[in-house]
Amino acid sequence: MRGKAEKVIKLLEAEYPDEVKTSLHWNTSLDLLVATILSAQSTDKQINKVTEVLFKKYHTAADYAYTPREQLEEDIRSSGFYKRKAKYIQEICSILVEEYDGEVPASMEGLTKLKGVARKTANIVLGNAFGIVEGIAVDTHVMRLSKRLGFTEQKNRDKIERDLMEIIPRDKWLPLNYLLIAHGRKVCNARKPDCDHCILNKICPAAFAFPHNKSQ
């Protein structure tokens, strides 16, 4: 399986040479943590529009923690689910102020202790902001493609991540997320994967399992 995984990565790297890191815009680790929280159930493009204005106003964890909740909600309204996200951001930033001197912890343990921060977000922040790669960020694209490609049969994100870490070389853990997202968006989407035109169709066990694909 390792050999197959390496082949998949090689093909995806050739197809998407620029997809090696997050497309969210950020300057500081705090920016990236906030942007990653905001990106849930939204698109990076939309979040970049929101943060272009947001990051000019909020520079520190204290800025987020102590601004009136309604104001923060208003400032992130177009990210979707803005009430829940504002609550998370304020809770997390309050802990950063109280326990971490306002800094984002540069460890998996520290990040995942923050309420609402799961391994997916922690992997993104650690890998992109600190150059620390401890795992593989598993989002919906990574879940779907990993199953279709036969890399896992698990449904739970953490278990999928463990399966992937077994077969993916460590130096590819960070880019894997972005390569699979790119391919998931462009070709292997949830409802209508375009197996006919997919560069992985010779090695993917799910190739042509979808009725709309004509080639068999």
Q: Write down the least CB distance from residue 183 to ligand SF4, Å.
A: 7
Q: Write down the least CB distance from residue 114 to ligand SF4, Å.
A: 34
Among 96, 198, 211, 216, binds ligand SF4 (CB under 6 A): 198
Per-residue burial over 31-53, b = 16 or more CB atoms within 10 Å of its CB, e = otherwise? bbbbbbbbbbebebeebbebbee
Catalytic member of 31, 75, 85, 139: 139
Q: Write down the least CB distance from residue 208 to ligand SF4, Å.
A: 7
- The CA distance from 213 to 196, in Å, is 6
Candidate segments 15-23, 45-53, 162-170, 199-207, binder of ligand SF4 by CB under 6 A = 199-207
Size of the residue set binding ligand SF4 (CB under 6 A): 13
**Footprint on residues 169-188 left by ligand SF4 (CB under 6 A):** 187-188
Neighbours of 83 (CB within 10 A): 13
Candidate segments 78-86, 93-101, 117-125, 201-209, binder of ligand SF4 by CB under 6 A = 201-209
What distance lies between CA 201 and its chain's CA centroid? 25
Active site residue 120: yes
Q: Write down the least CB distance from residue 210 to ligand SF4, Å.
A: 7
3-state secondary structure of 71: helix
Instruction: Name residues whose C-beta falls within 8 Å of residue 135's C-beta, 6 or more positions apart in sequence.
Output: 108, 119, 122, 123, 161, 165, 173
Among 206, 211, 212, 215, binds ligand SF4 (CB under 6 A): 206
**Footprint on residues 108-167 left by ligand SF4 (CB under 6 A):** 148-149
- The CA distance from 159 to 135, in Å, is 12
Catalytic member of 120, 171, 192, 196: 120
* Cα-based angle 9, 15, 19 (whole degrees, multiple of 5): 75
Active site residue 56: no
- The CA distance from 83 to 135, in Å, is 29
Q: Write down the least CB distance from residue 19 to ligand SF4, Å.
A: 15
Structure tokens at 203: 């090695």
- The CA distance from 82 to 88, in Å, is 10
Which chain residues interact with ligand SF4 by CB under 6 A? 148-149, 187-188, 193-195, 198, 200-201, 204, 206-207
- Which residues are known to be catalytic? 120, 139
